Structures are given as C-alpha cells and as structure tokens.
Amino acid sequence: MFGAISNFLKIVLIVIFYQLCCTHAQSKYQIAPYESNWFEASEYCHRMGMRLAIVDSEEKHNAIVKEAKPAAKLHSSGFFGVWLGATDLARSDNFIWHNTGARLRYARWGEGEPSGGDDHCVVLYYWPKQGSSWAWYDAPCCTELYAICENYEKTAGIQEF
C-alpha cells in the first residue's frame, strides 16, 4: 500500500516540478529550480538561452508576478524572492538592466528602497508577513534566491553582455 502511495507522490511531484520549472518553451518566463546568488542566477538564465528578467512596464511586472505566484505558494517560509536583471554594481545608486545597460525607467520599489549600501542587485520579493507584496528591493548579490529568466528576441549580429 505504501509503495503505491509513494509512487503516486513521486509522479505528482514530477508533474509539479515540470510545470514550475521546465515549461519555458511555452512561456516567456521560467523560474530556476534552485536558489543561487545573483551572478549564478544570471549564468543559469544564459545557459538556458534566456536572461534575468527585464521589467520595464507594469504589464511585464504583472506577468512575472503571475508566473511566480505558484512557486511562492509552495515556499513554506512565507518569504519568496526572485532575482531580476537589474544592478547598480557599475555605479552605486545608478540601477541599470545588466544585459542591455539601459537605466531603469520603470520600478516597483518597496518602501524605503533602494536602501543603498552593499545592496547592489534587484530582487522581487513576496513577503506578506512584512507587508511586502511583490515589491522590488535592492539586496546583497550573494543572497541565495531563485532566478526569474525570460525568453527574449535575439538580434542577429548583436550580442548582449
């Protein structure tokens, strides 16, 4: 009896994992299946033929939140964050999109953010116990969080960095 239940649970977990992590061919966005620092997250997206998400409009913000909500519900701590593709590593307090070098023209900063200091990478947090519902924060780039990668149109002859 327990063997049948165990096999059933394995199948359910495989289906959930596939839906959350492995459907990027059908979706514009993909959440990495493990947590990593910002640099590793960027590399993961690159290996997938994607990039850390660039959120330059309310529409894209809402699409990313929609993609991240199922994963946040599975996270038991009540705290969930995904790395975005923005950083101020090149010049403090001057946030740019890493892959394009464009300055942030749209942002959904949480209260008191960006906070500066040693927080140079941008994360989208869902932290309802602290009153944060899908707001942006600057955080230390070494923090272990999930990546939100996006498919993007690659232009022939032009390579993003």
What would the pLDDT profile of 108-137 be if each residue is shown by its tens digit? Answer: 999 999 998 899 999 999 987 776 689 999
Does the model's pTM come out above 0.85? Answer: no
Would you state the pLDDT for residue 138? Answer: 97
Q: What is the CATH number of domain 2-150?
A: 3.10.100.10
pLDDT digits (tens, 9 = 90+) for 3-60: 556 655 555 444 455 455 544 445 699 999 999 999 999 999 999 999 999 999 999 9
Q: What is the residue extent of each domain of the chain?
A: 2-150
Query: What local confidence, expressed as pLDDT, does residue 25 receive?
Result: 45
Question: Distances from the Cα of 80 to the Cαs of 6, 10, 70, 129, 133, in angstroms?
Answer: 28, 24, 11, 11, 10
Q: What is the pLDDT of residues 67-82, one digit of tens each?
A: 999 988 887 777 899 9
